[in-house]
Structure 1
Amino acid sequence: MNEVRRVLRPNGFQRIVVPDLEQLCRDYILHIQLSEQSSHEQYRHDEYVAAIIEQSVRKAAFSTKYKKPLRRFIEQLVLGDARRRGETHQWMYDRINLRVLLERTGFRNITVLAYNTSNIPNWERYGLDVDTDGRQYKPGSLYIEAQK
């Protein structure tokens, strides 16, 4: 964060998009309640645990998940595992702890936004955070901006 702040222009914005730990935890708690009512849902419960834990411990890169074993092996050898590719998170953030981190680093005007809104001028022009159809690229993400 210090380096981002250092290189950012005065009054420039930093936009951060990370998995939203708060939403993942809410989904997990709701699924516990569903699982208590439906034995079928109990068999899906690990998906909700994985949605939280896998963010930090995944070894295989997500893009190799459905590839043939030989191709997966070669990609892993050349490009590295998920951690080396930057796919895993060393920490999980929600709107509270990310705000505190940004404040401690000296950022101001910290705002939680939707995927399709921004304080960055002409944001829609860049086509970030949306897929080719204009839908949210990574549902379940936290979108936060802060100004230098």
Structure 2
Amino acid sequence: MKLLNFGCGSTFHPAWVNIDIASSSPEVREYDIRKNLPYPDAEFDACYSSHVLEHFQQDEAKKLLTECCRILRDKGIIRVVVPDLEAIAREYLFTLEKVDSGIKEAEPDYDWMMLELYDQTVRSVGGGKMRDFLLNPSINNKDFVRYRIGAEAEKFWEIQAHQKSMRERIMAKSPAWFLQKLRIIIAKYLVALVAGNEAKKSFEEGIFRNSGEIHLWMYDRYSLKRLLEQVGFIDVRICRADDSRIPDFNSYGLDMIEGKIRKPDSLFMEAMKP
């Protein structure tokens, strides 16, 4: 089978064709998936993405899924994983009821759910307030955060525990990343020179908001199903993290890692090309 993992980030398997705007490994092809996918019609048996679609405007997401339909073979499967807006909203309301009834111990859980709702939409710096919350040495609801975001929290705390330096992370970047950073630094100071520091600040925020970290839309079981059907997919189904129509899917370690759900805050959905 030929398999495509688009917008893979650092989660990929060598049995798949892995693409992302920035490569984190020789196994990952650097490509801007906001453009048409660089493959011929009916090239793949399955497509997969995790926590990618919410970083696109609605029309861009529709275009990307249309491209996925084009490159899939007949009866090919697409598996889309996104943050589950419905589950986030329900958990937010549950924690709101608890704090409103006077349960002080629920306040950190309530604060975290507010971050899940809004932080990645409104933040203007990398990691946002969510990063500050996770870095707090007196965090007392680690179990709740772990329940919400699973391996992502564990990975974050592990990096901090081993004090992986900024230098190590920067040195892992590609030459193209360094070139782009240099161009932005030059442009930033030219903007300050011509238009002043307020314009420079606006330029920096604009660059960040277009970096791919921001959530530009969110999905629930109805809106994602409707979108997949609009672009031509059929037999749309909600799945569990460990359940897929893609043969041997769990062996690839994409949604399940050592028997644990990698992103438990997710909506898992699959559909078929007619």
**TM-score grouping bracket, smaller chain normalisation:** 0.7 to 0.9
The code of the aligned residue for 1:18 comes to: V
Residues in 2 aligned to 1:134 and 1:32: alpha-carbon distance in whole angstroms = 31
- Which residue is equivalent to 1:71? 166
User: Are the equivalent residues in 2 in contact too, given 1:58–1:83 (CA < 8 A)?
Assistant: no
- Which residue is equivalent to 2:74? 10
- Based on CA coordinates, which of the two structures has the bigger radius of gyration? 2
Gaps of 5+ in 1: none
Residues in 2 aligned to 1:127 and 1:47: alpha-carbon distance in whole angstroms = 27
| 1:93 aligns to 2:93 (yes or no) | no
Residues in 2 aligned to 1:138 and 1:61: alpha-carbon distance in whole angstroms = 20
Residues 19-52 of structure 1 show CA distances to partners (whole Å, capped at 9, x for unaligned) of: 0000000001111110122251464333211111
Determine which of 112, 125, 143 is the counterpart of 1:47: 112
1:81: how far off? Answer: 4.3
User: Are the equivalent residues in 1 in contact too, given 2:82–2:266 (CA < 8 A)?
Assistant: yes
The code of the aligned residue for 2:270 comes to: E
> Which stretch shifts more, 17-26 or 41-50?
41-50
| 1:58 aligns to 2:116 (yes or no) | no
Gaps of 5+ in 2: 1-64, 136-159, 171-176, 182-206
Choose between structure 1 and 2 for higher RCO, CA contacts under 8 A separated by at least 6 residues: 1
User: Are the equivalent residues in 2 in contact too, given 1:61–1:82 (CA < 8 A)?
Assistant: no
SS in 1 for 2:235: strand
Determine which of 101, 112, 127 is the counterpart of 2:253: 127
Determine which of 131, 134, 139 is the counterpart of 2:264: 139
Residues in 2 aligned to 1:126 and 1:19: alpha-carbon distance in whole angstroms = 21
TM-score (norm 1): 0.81
User: Are the equivalent residues in 2 in contact too, given 1:112–1:143 (CA < 8 A)?
Assistant: yes
Q: RMSD in angstroms over aligned alpha carbons? A: 2.8
1:82: how far off? Answer: 7.1
Count, aligned residues: 141
Task: Provide the identity percentage.
Answer: 35
The code of the aligned residue for 1:116 comes to: D
User: Are the equivalent residues in 1 in contact too, given 2:250–2:256 (CA < 8 A)?
Assistant: no
SS in 1 for 2:246: coil
User: Are the equivalent residues in 2 in contact too, given 1:18–1:93 (CA < 8 A)?
Assistant: yes
TM-score (norm 2): 0.46
Distance 1:13 1:59, change over 3 A: farther
1:57: how far off? Answer: 2.7
Q: Which 4+ residue blocks in structure 1 deviate beyond 3 angstroms?
A: 58-62, 65-68, 74-78, 80-83
| 1:105 aligns to 2:169 (yes or no) | no
Residues in 2 aligned to 1:13 and 1:4: alpha-carbon distance in whole angstroms = 10
